[in-house]
Amino acid sequence: MTTTIHLIRHGHHPLLRRVLCGRMPGVELDEQGCREVEMCAALIDPIPSLIQSSPQLRAQQTAGLLAARYGLPVEIAPALDELDAGDWTGRSFAELDADPDWRRWNAQRGSCAPPNGESMASVQQRIVAHIEHLCREHADACIVLTSHAEPIRAAIMHYARIPFDDFLSIEVAPASISTLVADSTGLKLSQANRKVPV
Measured torsion, CA atoms of residues 91, 24, 102, 167, in degrees rounded to the nearest 10: -140
Q: What is the mean pLDDT of residues 71-95?
A: 97
What is the greatest pairwise CA distance in the chain? 51
CATH of the domain at 91: 3.40.50.1240
| Predicted TM-score (pTM) above 0.85 | yes
Count of structural domains, the chain: 1
Q: Is 116 exposed, middle or buried (0-12, 13-18, 19+ CB in 10 A)?
A: exposed
Q: What's the mean pLDDT when you consider all of the chain?
A: 96
Three-class SS of residue 85?
A: coil
**Strand 142-147 and strand 3-9: pairing?**
parallel
pLDDT of residue 139: 87
pLDDT of residue 104: 95
pLDDT of residue 197: 85
72: nearest Cα among 99, 102, 49: 49
- Owning domain of residue 110: 3-194
